[in-house]
Structure 1
């Protein structure tokens, strides 16, 4: 009898209590019957996906949820994205995430981080910009590669890995001067970033966006650098073969290193307008032939970074109705399945970035067709997760629990 294993990640779903919601969280006020059904039929608990002392990034959190100890395997975010883009890193290559961002002047003339995503610039416009920015690499040991929307990649042959770069979504609204100084410590980065500013200042895409009242991509922001990691596959470790489904290069690259096949879903954007139905269809189709699927939805995290309660509730409810519900329905056809629903980390609206506190999960193992609720008082939310008394000390421990493998911490 073949068991199907599915992990569904609502990126950044977890949150702090919100005063305007009467001290409830977005998950508590959202309509989430499918995630709640899994929590009631199986179990709900908290999980520490971010190891002590490590940055609370999606790279680290999702690596842990896939069963890899980030303290052992994590080398940086950008190398994972390079794998998704088909960019092979040599031993001396250092990959950087290269965001297209909007830097804005406040009334006092101070430059601030206006938007880490340049208004969630569409990929078509972003690719037009990246083609123009290739000129900024001339004469430098750099290669620039186009990704999705605002997320792109810069590879520096012989570059350093220890630069104290900062994710732009961590400094929304803050003055940029102190964070940009790192680019001045290297002639390569200083020249590259200034060339990009000059090109972007007159770029036709920005002129069109300005005329349309949209944010302009007027700078690049480099962060998340590292060299290629060395990771055994899930097939080698646990005998699992499967697929990863995400709009985000980071997750697809992580899946590639884990030995999973990235499935391209047309219209997957990593935002509220993503192709949810396409992701579900791709997952259920793949599970006819493989035993594992990792499905990631970025929208709750993006809404959190924007500080939008309405968008976060919409993203959570869409994830529940358009992803979790249909996949749970599809898995009912199998005699045995393990389904894990998790927020990789908390992204509280009040701080608009990731935090290191424990996240939450719901887990079901068995036959969905014959399962019944154990506790009707449970809903999929932070409070129920805490009150359950179940806590996983790491994402790695949760993964082992998910597949019923003993784990030594």
Structure 2
């Protein structure tokens, strides 16, 4: 048996008036995934338990079969593992974004507006130069900065456990900076870094060049996502497989590392709409050919399009995932002849109306080539069909157990 989990990140949404009260998944042309749904099982699941922030960390832990109420220790430690940081048990990690803030005529940093959590899809090459500036300014014997990908990076603190409330920048787009700076008894150091980073970055040549090209500038850092080293049960032992992870996102790769899964790097995988979809599909096929029997295929573009507030791009991203990533793998699995099982599920909703994550249930499709059902085209991969099915997992990690046959 071969297994494939496909995660179109943040693709689930709420009904949108401009497209007749439908969602992007209802509008998108996804013949491959909807064919699996028509001959398989559909339903809904809640990947993020009540009381837990609907981040990609909690949601993907759930989709990978781990109860986030037990195993969630913060996203930045997962990202740190992905970029090769060997954290000690006492280390504290933080996510560091390069973001765009807009002064809009204000003189004080706190009165600026948070414009873009991803700094206009900053490249990793540009970020490397800017992170050197930040590191030179703020690193010391207890603080170090580590390069990730694009706008996503890491800071490690090896002393103490600062008590502070940190806000994800993608949750507060178009809001006033000062309302969401770090808060709490130990927050001053982090807020000070963020304020000072603006003066360091605003006129940097990298940003001058981006501005000349009409791109959003990376004119400040944003610190969030505090984490500690997690301890996850081995995924392969839990489900009796030999698996791998394919993703452009450090967080997802970090979960895979701590879960004991192989991480497959794909050239040109960006996490954006310009990612190498075909390369990801080929990497999955190659993994099966060399003996892997499980692939976790994560595609970030639909989430990024949601944070950008682009309905057109989100629909296009869903169609790209179906046509350019999922279909080639499904075609291979069918031609190869071995029985296979596929789960397609978003990790969370990212409604375009609010441009951030929610913990509302998401739709899923489970298809088993050995137990194909009679075709029913009312079974589709979207929120409305999932709700109508009456098939629901209130705890998302139990859906994954079910997919692997542990609670059937």
* TM norm structure 2: 0.95
Q: Which residue of 2 aligns with 1:295?
A: 297
In structure 2, the CA distance between the partners of 1:190 and 1:357, relative to structure 1 (3 Å rule), is closer
How do 1:232-271 residues align onto structure 2 when only pairs under 5 Å count? 232-271=233-272
Deviations 1:16-52 (A, max 9, x none): 1110001111111110101101111111100010011
Number of residue pairs matched?
A: 403
Q: Which residue of 1 aligns with 2:387?
A: 386
Q: Which residue of 2 aligns with 1:196?
A: 197
Deviates more, 1:174-183 or 1:94-103: 174-183
Q: Which residue of 1 aligns with 2:31?
A: 33
Q: Which residue of 1 aligns with 2:363?
A: 360
Alignment check: 8 A CA contact 2:7 2:298 kept: yes
Alignment check: 8 A CA contact 1:183 1:190 kept: no
User: What are structure 1's unaligned runs of at least 5 residues?
Assistant: none
Identify which of 338, 343, 348 aligns with 1:340: 343
In structure 2, the CA distance between the partners of 1:220 and 1:392, relative to structure 1 (3 Å rule), is same
How do 1:7-406 residues align onto structure 2 when only pairs under 5 Å count? 7-106=5-104, 110-139=111-140, 141-160=142-161, 162-182=163-183, 185-186=186-187, 188-288=189-289, 289-332=291-334, 333-367=336-370, 371=372, 373-406=374-407
**1:226: how far off?**
1.0
Does the residue aligned with 1:364 lie in a helix, a strand or coil? strand
Deviations 1:90-119 (A, max 9, x none): 122111010000111235663110110111
Does the residue aligned with 1:244 lie in a helix, a strand or coil? strand
Deviates more, 1:189-198 or 1:124-133: 189-198
Alignment check: 8 A CA contact 2:122 2:151 kept: yes
Q: 2: distance between equivalents of 1:163 and 1:181?
A: 6
In structure 2, the CA distance between the partners of 1:108 and 1:145, relative to structure 1 (3 Å rule), is closer
Q: 2: distance between equivalents of 1:384 and 1:49?
A: 18
Deviations 1:220-248 (A, max 9, x none): 00111111011111123222221100000
Q: 2: distance between equivalents of 1:232 and 1:162?
A: 28
Deviations 1:181-234 (A, max 9, x none): 438944542453344223212311011112222111111001111110111111
Does the residue aligned with 1:182 lie in a helix, a strand or coil? coil
In structure 2, the CA distance between the partners of 1:161 and 1:39, relative to structure 1 (3 Å rule), is farther
Q: 2: distance between equivalents of 1:321 and 1:373?
A: 23
Deviations 1:320-367 (A, max 9, x none): 101111111111123311100011111110010000110110001234
Q: 2: distance between equivalents of 1:161 and 1:73?
A: 21
Q: 2: distance between equivalents of 1:34 and 1:249?
A: 28
Alignment check: 8 A CA contact 1:334 1:367 kept: no
Q: 2: distance between equivalents of 1:246 and 1:139?
A: 32
Alignment check: 8 A CA contact 1:246 1:296 kept: yes
Deviations 1:229-270 (A, max 9, x none): 111111232222211000000000011111111101000000
**1:378: how far off?**
2.6
Deviates more, 1:252-261 or 1:101-110: 101-110
